[in-house]
Chains A and B, each alone.
Chain A
């Protein structure tokens, strides 16, 4: 906190420097050991390919981003009412929780071909897979958050004769918000994986499709470029949610 500006700058620079060192080491070992590009391309080779294929990479990134975001937002829309129902109603909890847990325990990669069989070759099967992959962390964290109101605060509301609705609005929702965002941050990285699973099984576009095609044609540098973009996409979405969280949950230090 009391660090001087120069040492703060050094702190900020540490991570980029570490990444740079790793990239240089990668580049050097590929060159020194003369590794063929179809096994492991050098970073500069990947960069060159990325520039060359920029339009394709851009288009397919947008496809994957769209699937990821639509699926993620649908998962939130689905989790909200379910979490409220499960948190507030014991019967709903007994009935729904086993079903949801069962659904979560089915390996999504295993059912992906079935979903594509049922829903055809549109974007929808990929979106459904994204929803399946990422709704559970949102749901579980949201339920935990809705039940996390401290007893002292509940006592205060009860002592004022507050209705369930009032307790929910003034106490349970604000307490649940940080938990909700935790769930979202976990879920959004899963969501990217969900899109790629869908694109692996059946697709004509998207970064997952691009990886599949380029590796089958020994275009390894292009596959690496697509993987790098997927990673960046995932990180960007994570930080995007964190950015929203900081603005919404502005009371935690």
Chain B
């Protein structure tokens, strides 16, 4: 199952027409007090074409994190079907890399050891994994900090290290759960643009969960707007902005128009 060269080579080209993720009629309830349950999500349809960058925006509590946990295989739905690259999605996969909201780096390991964690878990060839880890750290400007503990790093640097870890096993699909939510606005924008460039270079599929509309527009090909309780997809908006995107992209009139459109959808629903 593990790709050739221990998964460090580029992922094999996907069969034409097969979506990275295909969810149909998926819903999720959580048990609550005295035999009742909370309807957290759905029923929801989600289609992530291979090679695209799809974002979900919505207010907190709209079930978007639940959606990501389902796509990651960390939780199972109560109803509906979930497919990942044409096969049933019923467990986490090494083909999927996740960047969590909190960096989730182990404080007892160095930055390099943290980035190498997937290689240890998946028993990838050590030397090749190390080489790739160092290359990723170089790309994200962390090469000088490889042997530091994560607590020595700034918030932005920690999240970069978490991104390196998510990319180490060369996943076909990258899941981003409010990856920059805990950072200040300046660092957030800087990292968003970095991620945009990285994603384009690597040519991977990405699924982003965020409450930041600008971040969603800046990065994505499509933005899905979610409504709260139970979480449903209220709108599916194509982001027709040119790539590569840069610090000037948010100044484009089209960017502002898209932002306004998405805001209107979110606030209409709430009113």
B145 at the interface (CB under 8 A from A): no
Report yes or no: B92 in contact with A158, Cβ–Cβ below 8 A.
Answer: yes
Minimum CB–CB distance from A176 to chain B (whole Å) comes to 11
Bound-state Cα–Cα, A241 to B27, Å: 52
In the bound complex, do residue A161 and residue B122 qualify as a contact, i.e. CB atoms below 8 Å apart?
yes
Q: Is A171 an interface residue (CB 8 A)?
A: yes
Interface presence of B107 (CB below 8 A): yes
Which of A160, A166, A252 has the most CB atoms of chain B within a 10 A radius of its CB?
A160
A159 pairs with B107, CB closer than 8 A? no
Provide the bound-state CA to CA distance between A185 and B104, in Å.
29
Docked CA distance A153–B121 (Å) = 14
Task: Determine the chain B residues whose CB is within 8 A of the CB of A158 once the complex forms.
Answer: 74, 92
| 0 or 1 for each of A149-179: is its CB under 8 Å from B? (1 = yes) | 0001101111111100010001100100000
Choose from B69, B93, B104, B121 the contact partner of A166 (Cβ within 8 Å).
Answer: B121
Interface residue range, chain A: 10 to 19
Which residues from chain A contact B24 at a C-beta distance below 8 Å? Answer: none
* Nearest chain A CB to B118 CB, angstrom units: 5
Given contacts A153-B104, A251-B108, are A159 and B151 in contact (CB under 8 A)?
A: no
Chain B contact residue count (CB 8 A cutoff): 23
Residues from chain A with a CB closer than 8 A to the CB of B117 are 156, 160, 170
Let me know if A160 and B104 touch, CB within 8 A.
no
CB pair A152–B107 under 8 Å, yes or no, is no
Determine the distance from Cα of A161 to Cα of B106 in the docked complex, in whole angstroms: 17
How far, in whole Å, are A166 and B122 apart by their CA atoms in the complex? 10
List residues 167-208 of chain A with CB under 8 A from any CB of chain B. 170-171, 174
Cβ–Cβ < 8 Å partners of A55 in chain B: none
- Once the chains bind, are A171 and B106 in contact (CB under 8 Å)? yes
Chain A, Cβ-Cβ closest to B103: A152
Q: Are A155 and B93 in contact (CB under 8 A)?
A: no
Asked whether, in the complex, the Cβ of A160 is within 8 Å of the Cβ of B121, the reply is yes
User: Do A161 and B108 touch (CB < 8 A)?
Assistant: no
The answer for the CA separation of A251 and B108 in the assembled complex, in Å, is 5
Is B106 within 8 A of A160, CB to CB? no
With A and B bound together, what is the CA distance between A147 and B91 in angstroms? Answer: 23
User: Cβ of B73: which chain A residues have Cβ within 8 Å of it?
Assistant: 159
Min CB–CB distance A159 → chain B (angstroms): 5
Q: What residues of B have a CB within 8 angstroms of the CB of A156 in the complex? A: 98, 100, 104, 117
Whether, in the assembled complex, B67 has its beta carbon less than 8 Å from a beta carbon of chain A, the answer is no
Out of A153, A161, A166, which one reaches B94, CB within 8 Å? A161
Interface contact B93-A161, CB-CB below 8 Å: yes
A160 — which chain B residues lie within 8 A by C-beta? 92, 94, 117-118, 121-122
- B194 CB–A CB distance under 8 Å: no
Structural contact, B96 and A159, CB atoms closer than 8 A:
yes
Query: CB within 8 A of A162: which of B100, B121, B149?
Result: B121
Q: At the interface, yes or no: B72 with Cβ under 8 Å from chain A? A: yes
B120 within 8 A of A: yes
In the bound assembly, the distance between CA atoms of A162 and B106 in angstroms comes to: 15
A153 contacts B151, C-beta separation under 8 Å? no
With A152-B100, A153-B104, A174-B108 in contact, is A159–B92 under 8 Å at CB?
yes
Min C-beta distance of A244 to chain B, whole Å? 16
A98 CB–B CB distance under 8 Å: no
Question: Is A253 positioned at the interface, with any CB of B under 8 Å from its CB?
Answer: yes
Given contacts A159-B73, A162-B121, A166-B121, A152 and B104 within 8 Å (CB-CB): yes
Which residues in A have their C-beta under 8 angstroms from that of B106?
Answer: 153, 170-171, 174
- Interface status of B102 (Cβ within 8 A of chain A): yes
Binding site for B on A (CB under 8 A): 152-153, 155-162, 166, 170-171, 174, 251-253
